[in-house]
């Protein structure tokens, strides 16, 4: 019997590659996407397609309105998405406590399913300054998860897995293609149009484009007219 795992699936390149990786490793995958009010909501449509194409056993979209708090360019229309280039420090596209919230939801579903693993597409090499993508954060969350859950107390610990954590974006592009991910169908842009076409100038687009360039693989991302 295959080991069950919950995979956080945003619809972007990293999470799709993570789902494909987990499937290759033999896990029975349950994909979880979260509609938290992000301005790039078309990524959820991409997540639906990817979950089906990559063999997820089930896919749920959890609705949680983080626009109630705002505080991020992704959840507050009054804050512009930066387009001048990737800067050092924590950017305004950081959504307060997002990965903690998403991992908590995935952890809850994992308990219900009897899943022993939660996968997240966090990446620490090319990340844009997000504190909740760091390896030490993920280790800390795993420790908390195994203190706070009935499953762990009863001997069924749950691991937090981030298989892309040490990979450069160029290697993630290569791995995605090796695993059969429809890379053109992933949505990484922070402000895509209603057709899912990328802006080409936000931090996510710049990091993704750089990954293609360094991998030597033609960029198949669908961009709006520049």
- Confidence check: pLDDT of 128 > 70: no
Q: Where are the domains of the chain?
A: 4-215
Q: How far apart are CA 16 and CA 22, in angstroms?
A: 10
CA proximity to 45, closest of 29, 23, 61, 65: 61
- Confidence check: pLDDT of 157 > 70: yes
- What pLDDT is stored for residue 118 in this prediction? 98
CA proximity to 109, closest of 4, 18, 3: 4
Backbone conformation region of residue 4, classed left if phi is above 0, alpha if psi is from -120 to 50, else beta: beta
The residues facing 32 across adjacent strands are: 8, 60
pLDDT level of residue 41 (50, 70, 90 thresholds): confident
The residues facing 117 across adjacent strands are: 5, 159
- Confidence check: pLDDT of 138 > 90: yes
**Averaged over 2-19, what is the pLDDT?**
97
**Averaged over 159-182, what is the pLDDT?**
97
CA proximity to 181, closest of 58, 23, 20, 63: 20
The CATH class of 4-215 is alpha beta
**Averaged over 1-13, what is the pLDDT?**
94
Q: How far apart are CA 203 and CA 219, in angstroms?
A: 16
pLDDT level of residue 225 (50, 70, 90 thresholds): confident
Q: How far apart are CA 28 and CA 206, in angstroms?
A: 33
- What pLDDT is stored for residue 1 in this prediction? 74
**Averaged over 195-221, what is the pLDDT?**
94
Q: How far apart are CA 22 and CA 28, in angstroms?
A: 8
CA proximity to 8, closest of 162, 197, 212: 162
Q: How far apart are CA 31 and CA 156, in angstroms?
A: 20
- What pLDDT is stored for residue 87 in this prediction? 82
- What pLDDT is stored for residue 127 in this prediction? 58
Q: Classify residue 210 by burial, with Cβ atoms within 10 Å: 0-12, 13-18, 19+.
A: middle
- Confidence check: pLDDT of 126 > 70: no
**What is the phi/psi pair of residue 61, to 5°?**
-115, 115
- What pLDDT is stored for residue 162 in this prediction? 98
Place of tokens 């280039």: 85
């Amino acid at each position: 019997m295959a080991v069950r795992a919950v995979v956080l699936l945003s619809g972007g390149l990293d999470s799709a590659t993570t789902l494909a990786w987990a499937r290759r490793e033999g896990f029975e995958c349950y994909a979880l996407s979260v509609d938290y009010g992000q301005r790039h909501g078309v990524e959820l449509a991409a997540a639906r397609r990817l979950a089906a194409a990559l063999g997820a056993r089930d896919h749920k979209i959890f609705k949680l309105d983080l626009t109630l708090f705002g505080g991020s360019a992704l959840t507050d229309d009054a804050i512009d998405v930066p387009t001048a280039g990737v800067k050092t420090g924590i950017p305004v596209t950081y959504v307060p406590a997002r990965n903690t919230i998403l991992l908590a939801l995935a952890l809850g579903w994992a308990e219900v399913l009897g899943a022993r693993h939660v996968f997240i597409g966090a990446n620490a090499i090319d990340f844009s300054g997000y504190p909740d993508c760091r390896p030490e954060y993920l280790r800390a969350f795993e420790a908390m998860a195994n203190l706070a859950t009935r499953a762990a107390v009863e001997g069924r610990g749950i691991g937090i897995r981030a298989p892309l954590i040490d990979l450069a974006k160029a290697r993630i592009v290569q791995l995605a293609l090796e695993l059969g991910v429809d890379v053109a169908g992933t949505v990484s842009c922070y402000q895509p149009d209603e057709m899912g076409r990328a802006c080409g100038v936000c931090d996510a687009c710049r990091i993704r484009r750089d990954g293609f360039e360094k991998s030597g693989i033609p960029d198949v991302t669908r961009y709006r007219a520049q």
